[in-house]
Structure 1
Amino acid sequence: MTTPFGAPFRRAGAYLDHNATAPLKPEVKAAMSQAMDLVGNPSSVHAFGRSARRAVEEARAAVAALAGVKPAQVLFTGSGTEANNFALRGFPGRPVLTSAIEHESVLAARPDARRFAVTRDGTADLAALAALLERWPGQPPDQAPDGTAPALLSLMLVNNETGVIQPVAEAARLAHARDALVHCDAVQAAGRLPLSLPALGVDLMTLSAHKLGGPTGVGALILAEGLEPEALIRGGGQERRKRAGTENLLGIVGFGAAARLALEGLSAAADLAGLRDRLEREALDAVPQARVMGAGAPRVANTSCLMLPGLAGETQVMTLDLAGVAVSAGSACSSGKVKPSHVLAAMGEDERAAACAIRVSLGWTSDDAAVDRFLTAWTMMARRNARTDA
């Protein structure tokens, strides 16, 4: 029996930072608690090991169903970041192309990558991508005019800061016409949009459990059939000899439970659009100088990037925290750094404006009361700041 969507979160305050990490769902916690009784190593051949292996493979099947693939195409990793590194570093010799708004774990994995632009609304510029791909004509390195191998394109499906949905399928068609491989970071899309690696036409896809209401410390790299990246972690034969190390049994079981719930709850996730739209509408009515970033593009239902000119995002986050409201300023992976958002900068915002945005991200614990609490605290803060500036 699943918990009703939007049931009040049991902790005090309004948690509106699901894109950073979603609270652990009760069903996931229960599955992990049961898995604690499994004492065998999943690689052991005795009965205890076989029981543990069965739990891993059941979870693998659930994650595969979420991604629209066969279980053998799922490789478990220690995080979404590791899966991104696995994808981008698993094909030596291929130059990497990324959009300018990718997550830091993509940008840092291959700092040599060539970046292509996005439009003002935060959508990947396919014309800019096509121009970059012209440099990699899809021929063997010894026949290519400049001696380079075909490229590897990495394009996220949903931006973690703005919620803007990217044209991954269209980009994949452009890339495959040049014999490039295509990787998609789908961490922020899973559980919010229907996912299918074949339908997107990509070769690799990254997922992460803790964005789904699963545990931290476990992710997955989904591979097209027949694709064999080089191992990132070497040692034993786990994960088809692609990711050595004893499997994180509890985390994997939790990931499987979260994946099953995510697949079942896609319609409920879409229903968050009503809450998100009310939040944005009432925020802009109360504070007309505020803006919603990416509002003109297709977005997932749960994410709002609000810019309040003249008030730093970090200040907004701290002020809201004192009011019992949790939001983020940019990506949680870099929120400790006081710097403007590279995503908003890529969208054409100047440094001062880009530093004044916060991200509000809803999820399975969100309800009208949480939105009300945010609106009260954020509106009071904005009006107080306006009086101070005056």
Structure 2
Amino acid sequence: MDKPIIPYGRQHIDQNDIDAVINTLTSDFLTQGPKVSEFEKKFAEYVGSKYAVAVSNATAGLHIAVMALGLKPGERVITTPITFAASANCVRYCDGEVWFADIDANTYTLSLESTKRLIESKPKGFFKGIIPVDFAGLPVDLEEFRNLANEHNLWIIEDACHAPGGYFTDTKGVKQMCGNGKYADIGIFSFHPVKHIACGEGGMVTTNNEALYNKLSKLRTHGITKDNMEENHGGWYYEMQELGYNYRLTDIQSALGITQLSKNDEGVLKRNEIANRYKEAFRDKIKYQSLPDQTYNAHHLFVIEVVDRKKLYDYLRTHNIFAQIHYIPVHTLPYYKEIGYGDANLRNSENYYSKCISLPMYPTLLEEEQTYVVDRILEFLEEHTK
């Protein structure tokens, strides 16, 4: 009998999701209709932000976020090298410069100390912003980053694509949900199928700033608006006030997003149960991402570090376990090496990449499947440590 295939991530679509999409398909709107605004409202309520703007994908969201914050050609933004390339590419789309600070060796998120050192090594005003990433679902302590940003007059975009439902607790004892806009100017989320909320594709941009919200809304829709127009010749009239993009989400995707969002708390709870079983099995045997006190990891990923990573990766595939690597450090990718980032001193990031492997992590992962994964890993380690 063939062994079942166990991927690192998998979407879960149930009958409620299917019914929501069918109902939208038989309605009057398929694209920019009432489901988009309903999804935006419910998502803003979920994360605790004032505003949310639905977009075609998180990369589009990052792009218009950088644009809305007014980044000009040649201006510099700091981010982490351990992320998907889009976290850095959004700066390049605006002809800005990306500078990488190192990660913390235990949380795998952008290091506050490394970021501070980088900022303080340059003249005042050298940098314009910071893009921290809630890597694998672990929230960055944005209160600390906000204090640093305020000191140097920087904006913050929180890349929360891995972390809907995650939170950290600030110094006042308040739970700060990822993307709520309390400490970051803008938050970004992804609805790619392997993420928590699957819309096929899609993303959401959150903020508490009304001016940024209005700017994001225009940039998402060709730079066109019917609000605050200089003239109005009739109900058909609109103005294109700046050069924007067609980064809109459809009603079909939004209907799916609404039902997916309603299950996210349950899904994140399940992800944490899976993570805790991994931790129990690997404690004192294998290194995994640390969890700061009073922080709730939304666990898009569960990452471990092993010395013989490539051998383990291949070994697991022979057993139909399709683990993945997240991520190749952005500064080592050919595009970034060609523009001078290849020699960056990012020791923690490169050490992490040499050992990291993401294990199966999704709410429908069966306990017996997880046990099978754990057994194969421990079996591999025993064979390779003799």
Report the TM-score when normalising by structure 1. Answer: 0.71
Tell me: CA distance 1:85–1:264, structure 2 relative to 1, closer, same or farther (3 Å): same
**Distance (Å, rounded) in 2 between the aligned partners of 1:129 and 1:333:** 16
Tell me: CA distance 1:276–1:196, structure 2 relative to 1, closer, same or farther (3 Å): same
Shift of 1:245: 5.9
Tell me: CA distance 1:348–1:75, structure 2 relative to 1, closer, same or farther (3 Å): same
* Preserved CA contact (<8 Å) 1:183 1:203: yes
* Counterpart position of 1:294: 289
Tell me: CA distance 1:329–1:129, structure 2 relative to 1, closer, same or farther (3 Å): closer
Paired residue for 1:95, among 73, 76, 85? Answer: 76
Q: What pairs up with 1:126-205 in 2 under 5 angstroms?
A: 126-134=112-120, 135=122, 137=124, 151-156=128-133, 158-160=134-136, 164-193=138-167, 195=177, 197-198=179-180, 200-205=182-187
**Distance (Å, rounded) in 2 between the aligned partners of 1:246 and 1:125:** 34
Matched, 1:321 2:317: yes
Shift of 1:181: 1.3
* Counterpart position of 2:337: none
* Counterpart position of 1:55: 35
Please give the per-residue CA displacement for 1:63-104, whole angstroms capped at 9, x wherever unaligned: 11222123xx21111212221222234422253122343432
- Three-state SS of the structure 2 residue aligned to 1:306 is strand
Q: What pairs up with 1:323-338 in 2 under 5 angstroms?
A: 323-331=319-327
* Counterpart position of 2:233: none
* Counterpart position of 2:257: 255
Q: What pairs up with 1:74-93 in 2 under 5 angstroms?
A: 74-90=52-68, 91-93=70-72
Q: Any unmatched runs of 5+ in structure 1?
A: 1-11, 44-52, 138-143
Tell me: CA distance 1:386–1:268, structure 2 relative to 1, closer, same or farther (3 Å): closer
**Distance (Å, rounded) in 2 between the aligned partners of 1:346 and 1:109:** 21
Q: What pairs up with 1:202-217 in 2 under 5 angstroms?
A: 202-210=184-192, 211-217=195-201
Structure 1 range deviating more: 223-232 or 32-41? 223-232
Shift of 1:206: 0.5
Report the TM-score when normalising by structure 2. Answer: 0.72
Paired residue for 1:104, among 82, 85, 97? Answer: 85
| Paired AA for residue 187 in structure 1 | C
Shift of 1:207: 0.7
| Paired AA for residue 255 in structure 1 | G
Q: What is the aligned-residue identity percentage? A: 11
Matched, 1:366 2:365: yes
Length, aligned pairs only: 334
* Preserved CA contact (<8 Å) 1:28 1:214: no
- Three-state SS of the structure 1 residue aligned to 2:210 is coil
**Distance (Å, rounded) in 2 between the aligned partners of 1:307 and 1:270:** 19
Which 4+ stretches in 1 moved above 6 angstroms? 238-241
Paired residue for 1:235, among 214, 222, 229? Answer: 222
* Counterpart position of 2:302: 304
The alignment yields a C-alpha RMSD, in angstroms, of 3.7
Structure 1 range deviating more: 294-303 or 187-196? 294-303
**Distance (Å, rounded) in 2 between the aligned partners of 1:350 and 1:221:** 30
Shift of 1:221: 1.3
* Preserved CA contact (<8 Å) 2:307 2:355: yes
Paired residue for 2:21, among 32, 37, 41? Answer: 32
**Distance (Å, rounded) in 2 between the aligned partners of 1:173 and 1:218:** 31
Paired residue for 1:125, among 99, 106, 111? Answer: 111
Shift of 1:209: 1.9
Shift of 1:168: 1.9
| Paired AA for residue 354 in structure 2 | A
Q: Any unmatched runs of 5+ in structure 2?
A: 168-175, 228-239, 335-341
Tell me: CA distance 1:266–1:355, structure 2 relative to 1, closer, same or farther (3 Å): closer
**Distance (Å, rounded) in 2 between the aligned partners of 1:213 and 1:197:** 15
Please give the per-residue CA displacement for 1:323-364, whole angstroms capped at 9, x wherever unaligned: 232321224999xx99xxx9xx9463766x733431114221
* Counterpart position of 2:100: 115
**Distance (Å, rounded) in 2 between the aligned partners of 1:76 and 1:115:** 28
Tell me: CA distance 1:40–1:294, structure 2 relative to 1, closer, same or farther (3 Å): closer
Shift of 1:244: 3.0
- Three-state SS of the structure 1 residue aligned to 2:260 is helix
| Paired AA for residue 250 in structure 2 | N
